[in-house]
Amino acid sequence: MDIPKSPHRFSALLAALAAAAAMAPKQAAATIFETNDTQRANLAAVAAWQAPERALRLDAAAGEVVVLAEFCSIDAAATVEFPIVGELSDRDYESIFRTFARPGAIAAAIESIGLPRGKNASPASFDFWPRGERVAIDVAPFADTNATWVPIQRYIVDLATRAPLAFDSFVYCGSQDDPQLDFPAARVADTYAPNSVLSTYNESQTLLDLPARFSQGEVYGRFVLAPDHGLTPFGLYRIRFRPAPRADGLPRVRDLAISAVHGKDGIEYELSENGDPASRLGQEALVAAIRKMAADGFDPFARLSFDGSLTVAEVAAQARFFSTIDGEGGIRVKGPGNDAIHYRGFLPDDAWRVRKDRPSQPWEMRLAEDASGAVRATLVKTIEDWTSSESLDPILSTREFGAATPESAHAIVEKEGDGLPVLLVFAPAEMPLSRAMPFVIALKPSHPTVYIFAANGPSEN
């Protein structure tokens, strides 16, 4: 699972600069943009183009937002992580355009023409897909008011296909509110690096994202500036944002809930949308319904759940099934909420059963029923001794702690030290999920990443 990026170390400085920009926009812009004659001319053009928000014009009747931006003058074929960044960004070396308008001002303008704010991908919440309606982005030279608008995709080459970026529009996430700033519509994209307006990976703070699941590590270097881009060094451009709705006017995003339950003929699925009453489907019918939504151009986002009567082994089997339909052309699984874990937590790497084969040593929790039928936990803390000069690997030893209740399990870990924010759970394959999860949820606040092994015995020492 992906690890969220921490806030940029210069975020406090950027926040101060953003506040200064809000009070004195021309002066703040000059400190960033005024380094050559072309940029000085751009600043003069921006000043002459003034609007209520600097370098931004909103045409509600036409349903579009236009901002001014400067080409960052990166080399042809340079990596593009951020096709568009905000004015305070320090990522101009991997960006095509840097706007003269605040990302938060752009977001507020886009929302004012009727586009709802979506939701950024958030690995910390196990939300790995950007969610929202779509926006088309076009570019034209500032000086030529009659120039044809060019989709921004034209300037981005996908090295995986050796063709321009294939997506016809982008997901409007909106970035999160920044409660530390008091100017209108302040978003974290205003003050935290990379100050992204449009990202080519699932950046957790960007305004707009690609309609795909792309972690930064997976796609770094994949998207580059088109060699024949034709952009003028430090040239001034207009960038237009327009909603890109479906032809039928229906929202592209569909919010589903899917629950795996016991049925007459095995596992069945309760499917509901937007809180409506659920219909019960077999696996084949569920797959057909999901595939049709995707084929019809919808983005079906689904919150998954498993009935408590399902055994740990049955849930693992269902997790394998859901993994086959989680992706393009299927569902986009949403974060699990506080009372559950991500379904992939039931699909751990089997090598992790053996301590010496693990890359690290998180807490283990072994669940079992005692003679009275009550569920009890044995918590195992693995200690690594790196003092031996005769081995490159640590000498492992363990300490075990018994816990009769979820509350006592939490107290033990709190006293002994949380360690890594990961928990490995070994539960009998036939144990009902409802009996295992209270112990898991008790430790989830300090150990949000959980892997559950369907086991008939403890892990190997």
Domain limits of the chain?
11-243, 253-339, 348-455
Token readout for 309 is 């009567």
pLDDT above 90 (res 25): no
d(CA 273, CA 279): 10
The residue with tokens 């998954």 is 304
pLDDT: which is higher, 349 or 3: 349
Instruction: Write down the pLDDT at residue 31.
Output: 58
Phi, psi (rounded to 5 degrees) for 444: -60, -35
Q: How many degrees, rounded to 5, is the angle at CA 213 between CA 155 and CA 6?
A: 90
Burial of 441 (0-12, 13-18, 19+ CB in 10 A): middle
Residues 6+ apart with CB under 8 A from 410: 442, 443
> Under DSSP, is residue 197 helix (H, G, I), strand (E, B) or coil?
strand
Q: Give the whole-angstrom CA distance, residue 359 versus residue 375.
A: 29
Instruction: Report the Cα 120 to chain-centroid distance in Å.
Output: 5
Average pLDDT over the chain reads 90
Helix-strand-coil split of the chain, %, nearest 5: 25, 30, 45
Q: Residue 46 is encoded by which pair of tokens?
A: 């921006």
Q: What is the pLDDT of residues 218-251, one digit of tens each?
A: 999 999 999 999 999 999 999 999 999 999 999 9
Whether the pLDDT of residue 11 is over 80: the answer is: no
Beta bridge partners of 402: 378
Measuring CA to CA, how many Å separate 162 from each of 26, 158, 212, 222, 402? 40, 6, 18, 10, 58
By DSSP bridging, strand 279-281 and strand 266-273 are antiparallel
CATH class of 348-455: alpha beta
User: What does the alpha-carbon distance between residue 227 and residue 149 come to, in Å, rounded to a whole number?
Assistant: 19
pLDDT, tens digit (0-9, with 9 covering 90-100), for 90-114: 999 999 999 999 999 999 999 999 9
Percent of the chain with pLDDT over 70: 91
Rg (CA), the chain: 26
Length in residues, the chain: 461
